Structure 1
Amino acid sequence: MALTVCTWNINSVRLRAGLVERLLREAAPDILCLQETKTPVDKFPAEPFAALGYHALAARGDKGYNGVAILSRAPLEPLPHVDFCGKGDARHVAARTGSGLEIHNFYVPAGGDEPDRNINAKFAHKLDFVAEMADWGRGRAGPAIAVGDLNIAPGEDDVWSHRELLKVVSHTPVEVEAFEKARAAGGWADVTRDLTPEGKLYTWWSYRAKDWALSDRGRRLDHVWASADVAPTARRVTVLKGARGWDKPSDHAPVIAEFDL
């Protein structure tokens, strides 16, 4: 049975509900994981998505920032979220499908501008969050897919310029090391890179660029991980780069992974 899972930092689900509807109509993933929804759950615009067949929803939200949600056409069993760093912010949501597959959706802190935990509390929070992801993953078991905006571009081909971004938050060596420790601790496969081992690959392009497509100065911040018992079933991962050019878009593009489970 084929299962498609999409991850997308939507940068306000209420502002961009129409773009979510377009994605659901055109790409029709079985499961859609959204980050940075920026809305309390009681304000989440679930109705138009349900009208398209996505009746199942597991969500957490904060007013104006953070927020994660899982939408599905098939029923979901909500699972307890993990309160990473004990801050109570909505950065993780989880659910289980009818087949027993766990879906974990993450929104890792961006980390601010200065890559020094001693002078930048946001960067310290990011590193602590990812370290706790490693501890969590080490103790987790069972078939699972973990997706989300992890706000780290780990490889040289995951950024437009490895040399120029080595001291820029999202690609610094300390972040990449933390990222790989978290991935390895949980036994996760980086599905996107396993299926596309070579070549530049981005999922985010800054709003600051006058012509984001022409300059193409992107970063691969959005990831699909799979547990060891699920990873061999991965068949395809596609970055829907065109969505970055939709009207009033998110600065992230959706990433869709297909599995033969």
Structure 2
Amino acid sequence: MTDRLTIATWNINSVRLRMPIIEKFLEEEQPDVLCLQETKCPDANFPFAPLRKAGYEHIEINGQKGYHGVATISRLPLTNLEKREFCEMGDSRHIAVDVPFNGGAVRVHNFYVPAGGDEPDRDINPKFGHKLDFFAEMKAWLQGAETAKPAVLVGDLNVAPYEHDVWSHKKLLKVVSHTPLEVDLFENVRKTGGWIDAMRQFTPMEEKLYTWWSYRAKDWSAADKGRRLDHVWVSEALGTNVRGTRIVREARGWEKPSDHAPVIAEFSV
């Protein structure tokens, strides 16, 4: 049956280093599809065996040594693989596949958007310029025919767009990930493509919503200085099928954790 579907997204910050908590997550949550970002692993060294042992036979990867990297693992067949390069940088930051759902398929885009460095000024910080250009390319592509079909876009998009997506709107206005320039570009990509912010569809705007907490805090949970950098967008053609989203916050406190928590989206007919 393909009338129900769960898709999880997680910036794992090294797939080989975090394999124990990936296995724990798969055992406890059992998503149909898990989209990983920042795998930091060349394709030749990707740890297929423990994932297949956990029941995830279908795996597509786009990796590189030491940096970036995305992987989509699934209990369901994956077809129509696409790996798109952005900004002619050679970075492994995107993978797309079709997943069976509702007698047809859902296009699942898995993205790892550049973080953008420290200074929100492209003239002195090329990394910030790269991030802005990356969003411009996303906007040009992810509209029209690409978004007219049932589609999901998940991943670490490295922007916390709204006031309560960060622990302090005022203090972070000049901090990369929450600057007005990034937020405007981010929202432009989303709205131009007709994408729905599934997480905010189920969580009021005045409610805090975080998916990332810095390693720098001695007690990340008590300090709770988080940001929502990880997102789930759905095309309008799939909008009526979203049943909810959930941040698995406790995973941030597991042994040797990523600084991101997983997000799970549920769909049904």
Task: Give the shorter-chain TM-score range.
Answer: over 0.9
SS of 1:103's equivalent?
strand
Structure 1 unmatched ranges of 5 or more: none
The equivalent of 1:166 in structure 2 is 173
Task: Spell out the pairing of 1:172-183 with structure 2 (5 A cutoff).
Answer: 172-183=179-190
Give per-residue Cα distances to partners, 1:100-125, cap 9 Å, x unaligned.
21110000000000000111000000
Task: Spell out the pairing of 1:1-261 with structure 2 (5 A cutoff).
Answer: 1-98=3-100, 99-139=104-144, 140=146, 141-198=148-205, 199-261=207-269
Whether the 8 Å contact between 1:137 and 1:187 is mirrored in structure 2 is: no
SS of 1:229's equivalent?
helix
> What letter corresponds to residue 214 of structure 1 in structure 2?
A
Which stretch shows the higher mean deviation, 107-116 or 37-46?
Answer: 37-46
Which stretch shows the higher mean deviation, 91-100 or 198-207?
Answer: 91-100
Give per-residue Cα distances to partners, 1:19-43, cap 9 Å, x unaligned.
1111100000000000000001121
How far is the alpha carbon of 1:78 from its aligned partner? 4.1
Deviating 4+ runs (over 2 angstroms): none
The count of corresponding residues between Structure 1 and Structure 2 is 261
Alpha-carbon distance between aligned partners in 2 of 1:81 and 1:136, rounded to the nearest angstrom: 13
> What letter corresponds to residue 232 of structure 1 in structure 2?
T
SS of 2:87's equivalent?
helix
Alpha-carbon distance between aligned partners in 2 of 1:71 and 1:185, rounded to the nearest angstrom: 29
How far is the alpha carbon of 1:79 from its aligned partner? 2.0
Alpha-carbon distance between aligned partners in 2 of 1:82 and 1:185, rounded to the nearest angstrom: 19
Give per-residue Cα distances to partners, 1:166-209, cap 9 Å, x unaligned.
00000000000000000012111000001112300000000011
> What letter corresponds to residue 182 of structure 1 in structure 2?
V
Identity %: 59
Whether the 8 Å contact between 1:77 and 1:95 is mirrored in structure 2 is: yes
Give per-residue Cα distances to partners, 1:125-159, cap 9 Å, x unaligned.
00100111111112414111000000000000000
Alpha-carbon distance between aligned partners in 2 of 1:103 and 1:243, rounded to the nearest angstrom: 23
Whether the 8 Å contact between 1:7 and 1:34 is mirrored in structure 2 is: yes
CA RMSD of aligned residues (A): 0.9
